[in-house]
Chains A and B, each alone.
Chain A
Amino acid sequence: KNQVEQSPQSLIILEGKNCTLQCNYTVSPFSNLRWYKQDTGRGPVSLTIMTFSENTKSNGRYTATLDADTKQSSLHITASQLSDSASYICVVSEGNAGNMLTFGGGTRLMVKP
């Protein structure tokens, strides 16, 4: 069964600090991996999309890494801001199933002043 596991489930950090969120998956065949940010009461917003051949991709202060061999990804947030407080969802797409996505449970990040 395809699964996406995220850790930690929740995280509290101080403003200005860095943090790293983890995502492990068992989806096969792999097509791509996406990180989404979901603010409370809003729909998820795409941060990055990485295919099999991409090891790292940045979007401002967000940097995602992908190790397709170990089936792990991470999302690193640099110099956190209060507005980074949200849920971060890792989503993996199956290669042969068109738009079949498997969603992780998300990491709820709270940035405190």
Chain B
Amino acid sequence: DAGVIQSPRHEVTEMGQEVTLRCKPISGHDYLFWYRQTMMRGLELLIYFNNNVPIDDSGMPEDRFSAKMPNASFSTLKIQPSEPRDSAVYFCASSPGQIYGYTFGSGTRLTVV
């Protein structure tokens, strides 16, 4: 298994532009999570899905952020419009269930200038 695959690895964009991050979870994992990591705040949960359904999006910072999971093998996190304070590493993770470990992707490093 190739693990959790995220793309792109790096993204540099100008303030105000739309950014779309992509994630392919491990096949058979029912849970998918989007996290954001910064030096100041560490790892923060943005949203998670169970069987493609968003369960908890209370961590999504504001309406500029949206996430979708149209099928079991693909999810997107979109920021529109992007702002410099959105600069961070965004991780996608998947898990087969509550008591199991999470497998994280390699992350997308987003820089908004």
**Which residues from chain A sit less than 8 Å from chain B, CB to CB?**
31-32, 34, 41-46, 49, 51, 89, 93, 98-101, 103-106
Contacts and interface: CB of A to CB of B under 8 A. Distances in A.
Interface in B26-72: 31, 33, 42-45, 48, 50, 55-56
A99 B31 contact: yes
Interface residues of B, number: 24
A98 to B, nearest CB: 6
A113 B38 CA distance: 29
Interface of B: 4, 31, 33, 42-45, 48, 50, 55-56, 91, 93, 95, 98-107
A49 B99 CA distance: 8
B25 to A, nearest CB: 13
Given A43-B105, A44-B104, A99 B33 contact: yes
A106 B41 CA distance: 11
A28 to B, nearest CB: 17
Q: Which 10 A-B pairs have the closest CB atoms?
A: A43-B104, A46-B101, A103-B43, A44-B104, A105-B42, A43-B91, A43-B106, A43-B107, A43-B105, A103-B42
A42 B33 contact: no
Contacts of B93: 43
Contact of A89 (B31, B43, B100): B43
B56 A100 contact: yes
Contacts of A51: 99
A105 B24 CA distance: 27
A98 B105 contact: no
Contact of A106 (B4, B42, B48, B104): B42
A93 B98 contact: yes
B39 to A, nearest CB: 10
